[in-house]
Amino acid sequence: MATTKDYYATLGVERGATDADVKKAFRKLAQQWHPDVNQDAEAQARFKEINEAYQVLSDPERRQRYDVFGSAGLEGDPNIGGFGGFADIFDAFFGGAAGAQAGRRGRPAAGSDLRYDLRITFTEAVLGTEKELVFPVLGRCETCDGSGAKPGTQAVACTQCNGRGEVRSVRQTMLGQMVNVTACPRCHGNGKMVESPCETCRGDGRTERRRNLRVTIPPGIDEGHQIRISNEGEVGPRGGPAGSLYVAVHVAPHAQLKRDGTELYFEATVGIAQAALGTRIVVPTVEGEEDVEVKPGTQPGTEIRLRGRGVPHLRRTGSRGDLHVIVDVAVPTRLSKAERDALKAYADVSGEIVADGGGILDRVRDALG
Ligand SMILES: [Zn+2]
Ligand SMILES: [Zn+2]
């Protein structure tokens, strides 16, 4: 069972940090915490965390697994230390490895956010849908109800910080007395320690389980949108609040329709006779095929607008974009003899002066045919 670690917080970078940002942050922290240069008692453990975070975030494949599944996605990775080993037990007893929980001292740390990549069809994105997501997640341990303490026992206040989650040290400097407040190294800012850990979760307060979650995808969602579902991420260790689940939506392209926001575009091609005399064409829509009239005398590039057949507005209910049919007129490039004769006869009647024959290829084909 993996203890969830917030590698982004450990390196102090944003979730969207580039490789260069990650490397830069790691170098800076490594210089500060490397046990060779830093004699602090905490330095070795801290350096180990920083190094582990870097091993994950600097590797695109590991980082992807971590982003989607949290630490659980890295379980069994021999290069990522700590899971199920000594560090795991240590973290479970002393408050997680999310680094200093600045601003959250004395309160249980929140669980990690999760990301789920969801692929849907073009039509599902336009009309909305419901999907069942199945994913592994760290949930509250049922044996100890998340406390991490063996049933019948209780978590006790940390003896080093008396449950405050922070320690103060006073230094005399040239500028006078300086008070330094840091997260308690023993409980990592949690304020509590478990003396008799729950046997099911080994004191972490969480167990891994499969979650089946039905989510509603609203009409009008688009590629790259994220749906945040609060409280569906991992729960925090020892009763900490749950993080959020981010559903990243990926929309498959449509074979014939193009989308721009709430507007849909379809390119139709008609022949010169159809453009001149008018015709009916079949237009694909998200509700199925539709028969559309092309009026006599339609010019190339003419737009036929099917009002309200585009994409519903994501936030304004009842408002929906249009489907724009752009009519292209194809001028034939290879004519049979009969076609050419017919066009010449048309040119005679309309008084258009045209070149004598077809191209050389047409003449060869006529000779062969
Ligand atoms: Zn438990
Ligand atoms: Zn403490």
Query: What pLDDT, on the 0 to 100 scale, is given for residue 3?
Result: 55
User: In the chain, what are the domain boundaries?
Assistant: 1-100, 104-150+200-253, 156-193, 258-331, 340-369
Residue 258 has pLDDT above 90, yes or no: yes
Residue 183, pLDDT > 70, answer: yes
209 three-class SS = strand
Query: Spelled out in words, what is the top-level CATH class assigned to the domain 1-100?
Result: mainly alpha
pLDDT in tens, 106-129: 567 789 999 999 999 999 999 999
What is the reported pLDDT for 2?
42
Write down the CATH number for the domain with range 258-331.
2.60.260.20
SS3 label, residue 86: helix
Residue 262 CA to ligand 2 centre (angstroms):
54
Greater confidence, 16 or 86? Answer: 16
Between the CA of 155 and the centroid of ligand 1 the distance, in Å, is: 12
Whether the per-residue pLDDT at 179 is higher than 90: the answer is no
Domain made up of 104-150+200-253: CATH architecture: Sandwich (2.60)
Going through the chain in order, the beta strands assigned E by DSSP cover 114-120, 129-140, 156-157, 166-173, 176-183, 192-193, 206-217, 226-229, 245-251, 258-260, 263-271, 279-285, 288-294, 302-306, 323-330
Give the residue, 255 or 169, on which the prediction is more confident: 255
Task: Write the pLDDT tens digit of every residue in 13-35.
Answer: 988 888 888 888 888 888 787 77
**pTM for the complete prediction?**
0.60
Residues 6+ apart with CB under 8 A from 289: 282, 283
Report the pLDDT value the prediction gives residue 190, as an integer from 0 to 100: 78
The model's pLDDT over 298-355, given as tens digits with 9 standing for 90+, comes to 999 999 999 999 999 988 888 999 999 999 999 999 999 999 999 999 999 999 999 8
Q: Which residues surround ligand 1, an ion (CB under 5 A)?
A: 141, 143-144, 198, 200-201
Q: Both tokens of residue 270?
A: 């008609």
State in Å: Cα 270 to ligand 1 middle: 69
Query: How would you class 340 by CB atoms within 10 Å of its CB: exposed for 0-12, middle for 13-18, buried for 19 or more?
Result: middle
User: Would you say residue 102 has pLDDT above 80?
Assistant: no
- Ligand positioned closest to the Cα atom of 153: 1
User: How far does the centroid of ligand 2 lie from the alpha carbon of residue 241, in Å?
Assistant: 19
**104-150+200-253 shares its CATH topology with 258-331:** yes
